[in-house]
Structure 1
Amino acid sequence: MQCFLLLMLLTMVFGQPMERTLYLTGKHHRNVVSIRTRKHIRNWGDNHFCAGSILSARWVLTSGCCVSTLPASTPSKVSTRKNLRVVLFTRRRLKRPADKNIFGVEQVVLDKVGDGDCSKLALLKLERPIIGQKFAMKLPTQKMNTTWLCRTLGWGRIYFNGPYSNDLLLLTTQESPDCKAHCGGCLCMGSYTGRGNMCQLDLGSPLFCGDFVYGVARQAHNSEEEGFMEYTSTFHKLKFIERTLNSARSQRKYTEFFIIITLILNWVLMA
């Protein structure tokens, strides 16, 4: 009987969803998330202020400017952890998703190294793991080539200084020689086709080159006719990302080990 109870407890511990790296399947829009305040203002979705991308089952990657400063587009004065909500798997900003796709934020980890808050990255730990989905991004293994064509996604604004788009926007982009980034680990991207102003995009929007996320939108170079967007390079921030994820995994393993020891001791004492 005691062995049976011990087996049940171990099953409960290790039967929980494990935090693991999920892989991108090519449907990039499934990777992009909407970051919002806890409550909407008048209508559902009008509290959206930043974008982000799924890094693993429990982690979302975004710009440090979205959580450490007050973006001009933020409808609320404060964005505390309790006040943040992350909405997954929604292409339409104003359409209410299923409750299972609305996540609270348990922890915010902000990179300590950067040229100003907006060049920093932020990792948001979700209050619960994402279950049954395989749309997380791959991190780069090499520096981005300036000749590559990439894509960036976000809700952004329909036109210069206009309202936010309801539908997720996609732009084909390439690193621009006409724009100089303001930080060493940043990329300056322009529209490859000439259609669409890069300034319209959300802060925190991911930059995809193939199936790898190479950047996180951090600052716009405002222009009514032609705009550029600076991205914090994830390749230059790999140490911060990997250190945060490894720390989380180590903490989980320590917790699991402590639970196992506690169960064994209880079983021995009851024997």
Structure 2
Amino acid sequence: MNSQHFLVLLHLYLILVYADPCKNLSSTSLKRVRRLSYGKFNDEALRLSKYVVSVRTRSASVYFGDNHFCSGVILTPLFALTSAHCLIDDRRVVYDSRNLVVVAGSVNRFKYIPGRSFLAPVDKIILPDNFTIYNKQKMALLKLTKPLPRSDKHISLAKLPVIPPKAGLKCLVGGWGQMFDGGPRTAKLLYIDVTLISAKECDKQLNVKEIDFLCAIDPDPFTHQNPCIGDLGAPLMHDDVVYGIVSLLMGCGKGDWPSVYVDVYASVKWIEGKIISNGGTTLSVPIKMEFFTGSFLLFVIIYKICVN
């Protein structure tokens, strides 16, 4: 045995002798706050990746994907929805759209796959009128310079809600944010399961007088998963409907706080109006089929009365 091997074995021996396994487990596994330590990557994550986009600066620092700083969700081939806070610097100055790009169809933010990864520069940033940090409507639209493909199986359009979401609705939040407070950002899109709670319950937990946002909790009391840095703009989704946008970070899993989202339903008219007024023609708002079903039945009844 040479001296180098001996030193390696001695180092491992000292670790085993002096390490306290119980203490290590407590400090690294039980007390470390989490956001996506238990985030899931499976077929559901692949499905979500069709809707979620990575918002980046135009140029990477060292390698592809290291310039990701926010997420967003595809509403139409030309428009993505994200958080307004993603687009404003510390001086409250709106970023130049020429410095931003959206990447769609990528599960791993570090991998560019020809024919699957789609890069679209941002043509225009659309913020609420007279937006400030105090606005309740903390969302923004990104108009792209070129439309995302409609026929590609890796790209899907999220639908806007037609009714406000109710407490108890189970949703998913997917993104490439930090896996825990102060930790690295995930390479692959991960998602967490959350359940919406009522405004009254959210008020009770956050101790605020007024709740104008959607609040959700992680049903698992052990994980306390919340969106974290890098997840601003990520969508809160149920099936293919986007109900909320991550716009506030509640400590990346610290304590038992609920996660907070901008209410998309409350701004549907603003979203539709801005898309149409900025050259958009295709909206993915789901149609209330029960209206047409009821109208059709009424037509049949009237027709039979008239014929008889």
TM-score by length of 1: 0.73
Residue 34, structure 1, aligned to residue 54, structure 2: yes
Measured after TM superposition, the shift of residue 121 of structure 1 is 1.1
Q: 1:145 aligns with which of 144, 151, 166?
A: 166
Partner of 2:261: 231
Measured after TM superposition, the shift of residue 130 of structure 1 is 1.2
Measured after TM superposition, the shift of residue 60 of structure 1 is 0.4
For 1:213 and 1:113, how far apart are their aligned partners in 2? 25
Partner of 2:21: none
Residue 189, structure 1, aligned to residue 210, structure 2: no
Partner of 2:228: 200
Gaps of at least 5 residues in structure 2 are 1-45, 283-308
Distance 1:224 1:185, change over 3 A: closer
For 1:124 and 1:84, how far apart are their aligned partners in 2? 10
For 1:251 and 1:207, how far apart are their aligned partners in 2? 24
Contact 2:88/2:94, CA 8 A, preserved across alignment: no
Please state whether the residue corresponding to 1:130 is helix, strand or coil: coil
Measured after TM superposition, the shift of residue 233 of structure 1 is 0.5
Residues 114-141 of structure 1: per-residue CA shift (max 9 Å, x gap): 7625842110011001122351011001
For 2:209 and 2:101, how far apart are their aligned partners in 1? 30
Distance 1:185 1:238, change over 3 A: farther
Q: Which amino acid aligns with 1:130?
A: L
Residues 29-75 of structure 1: per-residue CA shift (max 9 Å, x gap): 2100000001111222111000000000100000000112349xxxx
Q: 2:75 aligns with which of 55, 73, 98?
A: 55
Measured after TM superposition, the shift of residue 113 of structure 1 is 6.8
Contact 1:63/1:119, CA 8 A, preserved across alignment: no
Sequence identity of aligned pairs in percent? 28
Report how many residues are paired. Answer: 222
Please state whether the residue corresponding to 1:239 is helix, strand or coil: helix
Q: Which amino acid aligns with 1:213?
A: V
Q: 2:243 aligns with which of 208, 214, 223?
A: 214
Q: Which amino acid aligns with 1:246?
A: I
Distance 1:250 1:55, change over 3 A: closer
For 1:182 and 1:95, how far apart are their aligned partners in 2? 45
Contact 1:218/1:229, CA 8 A, preserved across alignment: no
Partner of 1:90: 106
Partner of 1:102: 119
Contact 2:83/2:245, CA 8 A, preserved across alignment: yes
Residues 226-271 of structure 1: per-residue CA shift (max 9 Å, x gap): 453211010001121011122134899xxxxxxxxxxxxxxxxxxx
Measured after TM superposition, the shift of residue 144 of structure 1 is 0.7
Q: 1:159 aligns with which of 176, 180, 186?
A: 180
Contact 1:220/1:229, CA 8 A, preserved across alignment: yes
Residues 94-131 of structure 1: per-residue CA shift (max 9 Å, x gap): 11243860110111110127762584211001100112
Partner of 2:190: 169
Distance 1:44 1:250, change over 3 A: closer
For 1:79 and 1:250, how far apart are their aligned partners in 2? 22
For 2:185 and 2:137, how far apart are their aligned partners in 1? 23
Distance 1:113 1:120, change over 3 A: farther
Please state whether the residue corresponding to 1:219 is helix, strand or coil: coil
For 1:182 and 1:110, how far apart are their aligned partners in 2? 26
Contact 1:208/1:215, CA 8 A, preserved across alignment: yes
Root-mean-square deviation over aligned CA pairs: 2.8
Contact 1:113/1:120, CA 8 A, preserved across alignment: no
Q: Which moved more, 1:111-120 or 1:183-192?
A: 111-120
Q: Which amino acid aligns with 2:88?
A: S
Please state whether the residue corresponding to 1:208 is helix, strand or coil: strand
Measured after TM superposition, the shift of residue 148 of structure 1 is 0.9
Contact 1:112/1:120, CA 8 A, preserved across alignment: no
The 5 Å alignment of 1:8-87 reads: 27-70=47-90, 79-87=95-103
Q: Which amino acid aligns with 2:234?
A: S
Please state whether the residue corresponding to 1:232 is helix, strand or coil: strand
TM-score by length of 2: 0.65
Please state whether the residue corresponding to 2:49 is helix, strand or coil: helix
